[in-house]
């Protein structure tokens, strides 16, 4: 219990010292060094019982005071401190003591805050000067202390450089993660808004045309507009909750879409979409499968990527293909550990209506490739080689077999 309390007290003291500003630390250091060197002046009387020389007190203060500027000017501080220290024994009657403390602190600062070559040169000159100005025994002690102070300063510099490097790496990782998250949110908002607005424009154009001749179809068109708007609002609310959870209007986050949501996506696209799925034997089964038996699952982020890729591809068909038909095909390739997603259309064929001239953000195909790559897959986008139209093909990884 006693040792634990002592350790806790030491931690509190260290925490308070770290909280001090650099200037406060340097001021305290100057006061501490000056007090240690001036103590002999107050502890005992001078020779014959008289006072010590006042010049000695000024020399001690002159050696300690420059330490206040040791962080920004370590080499000049060391030079001034050494000059004052070397004159100590020549200014009158002073206590017999080594006036080294300020110089040792200055050497530590030079080693910590100057370049390696500057520090080596300064400490070498200091050691040689110690031998030249002192007796051999005093010079040896001073040299050993100088080398020790320099070594401690270099160690502190290395530790600080390591800490700064780790902090830079941490900041770089945080910035990288923030950029990746911003890119993901931007892709989600692009996909949601692009898909919803495209459908709303298409249905809004079709509604008035059939309003007089086919009221039921016009009603379905307006219902589709309202449904697309509501769906976009729900999905955008989920994204905004991630951006600002403190102002989230709902206590629970909206789940990310998965492959199970593809029927809803295709039903609301305004296209006639053939949804098929084949397994490794090439057998075509109804999509979506009721239970997924016999197929390895996808990771949640891969399922979301597959949904968003299909959403973007169908949006591009609605905008640009000039056709009302599309084909969505999922092919589970268990032996390769991937699921292949193909979205094709037969646009630009002879006799078809012209493609809609809806505005494009220019990032749809880039988003498709980035979504596939973000989950370890690949995506190819381009004209079909087996006929007219366009193909988006994504290969996404299955979960490893357990």
**Ranges of each domain in the chain:** 2-134, 260-402
Return the SS3 of 306: helix
- Bridge partners (DSSP) of residue 394 are 341, 379
* Percentage of residues in the chain having pLDDT higher than 90: 4
Q: Which residue has the higher pLDDT, 351 or 37?
A: 37
* Burial class of residue 191 in the structure, from the number of CB atoms within 10 Å of its CB (0-12 exposed, 13-18 middle, 19+ buried): buried
Q: Which residue has the higher pLDDT, 206 or 76?
A: 76
Q: Which residue has the higher pLDDT, 7 or 376?
A: 376
Is the pLDDT assigned to residue 283 strictly greater than 50?
A: no
**Taking Cα atoms as reference points, which of 349, 367, 362 lies closest to residue 319?**
362
155-188 CB burial, b ≥16 within 10 A, e <16: eebeeeeeeeeeeeeeeeeeeeeeeeeeebeebb
What local confidence, expressed as pLDDT, does residue 104 receive? 85
The continuous run of DSSP H or E covering 250 comes out as none
The domain 260-402 is placed in CATH, from the list 3.30.565.10, 3.50.50.60, 3.40.50.1100, 3.30.390.30, at 3.30.565.10
pLDDT single digits (tens) 42-55: 777 666 566 778 88
Q: How confident is the model at residue 160 (pLDDT cuts 50, 70, 90)?
A: confident
What local confidence, expressed as pLDDT, does residue 307 receive? 87
Write out the two tokens for 368: 């498709």
What is the reported pTM? 0.48
Secondary structure in 3-state letters for 88-112: HHHCCCCCCCCCCHHHHHHHHHHHH
Is the pLDDT assigned to residue 19 strictly greater than 50?
A: yes
Is the pLDDT assigned to residue 137 strictly greater than 60?
A: no
What local confidence, expressed as pLDDT, does residue 286 receive? 42
Q: How confident is the model at residue 395 (pLDDT cuts 50, 70, 90)?
A: very high
Q: Which residue has the higher pLDDT, 356 or 234?
A: 234
Residue with tokens 């500027």, as numbered in its chain: 69
Q: How confident is the model at residue 396 (pLDDT cuts 50, 70, 90)?
A: very high
Please state the rounded mean pLDDT for residues 228-240. Answer: 70
Q: At a CB cut-off of 8 Å and minimum separation 6, what does 335 contact?
A: 280
Q: Which residue has the higher pLDDT, 339 or 135?
A: 339
């Amino acid at each position: 219990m006693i040792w634990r309390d002592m350790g806790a007290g030491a931690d509190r003291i260290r925490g308070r010292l770290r909280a001090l500003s650099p200037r406060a630390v340097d001021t305290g250091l100057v006061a501490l060094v000056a007090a240690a060197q001036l103590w002999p002046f107050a502890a005992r009387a001078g020779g014959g019982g008289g006072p010590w020389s006042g010049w000695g007190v000024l020399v001690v203060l002159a050696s300690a005071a420059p330490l206040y500027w040791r962080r920004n000017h370590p080499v000049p501080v060391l030079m001034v401190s050494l000059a004052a220290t070397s004159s100590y024994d020549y200014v009158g009657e002073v206590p017999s003591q080594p006036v080294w403390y300020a110089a040792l602190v200055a050497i530590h600062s030079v080693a910590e805050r100057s370049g390696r070559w500057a520090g080596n040169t300064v400490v070498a000159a200091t050691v040689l000067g110690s031998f030249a100005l002192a007796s051999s025994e005093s010079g040896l002690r001073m040299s050993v202390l100088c080398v020790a102070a320099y070594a401690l300063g270099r160690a502190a510099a290395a530790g600080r450089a390591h800490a700064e490097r780790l902090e830079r790496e941490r900041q770089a990782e945080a910035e990288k993660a923030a950029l990746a998250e911003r890119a993901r949110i931007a892709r989600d908002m692009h996909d949601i808004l692009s898909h919803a607005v495209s459908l709303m424009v298409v249905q809004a154009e079709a509604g008035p045309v059939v309003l007089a001749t086919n009221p039921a179809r016009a009603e379905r068109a307006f219902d589709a507009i309202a449904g697309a708007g509501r769906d976009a609002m729900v999905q955008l609310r989920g994204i905004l909750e991630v951006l600002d959870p403190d102002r989230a209007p709902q206590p629970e986050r909206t789940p990310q879409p998965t492959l199970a949501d593809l029927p809803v996506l295709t039903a609301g696209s305004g296209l006639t979409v053939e949804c098929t799925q084949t397994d490794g034997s090439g057998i075509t089964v109804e999509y979506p499968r009721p239970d997924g038996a016999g197929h390895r699952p996808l990771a949640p982020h891969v399922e979301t990527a597959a949904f968003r890729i299909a959403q973007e591809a169908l949006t591009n068909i609605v905008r640009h293909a000039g056709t009302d038909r599309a084909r969505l095909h999922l092919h589970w390739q268990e032996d390769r550990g991937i699921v292949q997603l193909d979205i094709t259309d037969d646009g630009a064929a002879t006799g078809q209506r012209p493609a809609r001239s809806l505005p494009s953000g220019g990032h749809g195909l880039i988003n498709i490739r980035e979504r596939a790559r973000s989950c370890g897959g690949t995506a190819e986008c381009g004209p079909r080689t087996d006929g007219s139209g366009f193909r988006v093909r994504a290969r996404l990884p299955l979960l490893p077999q357990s």
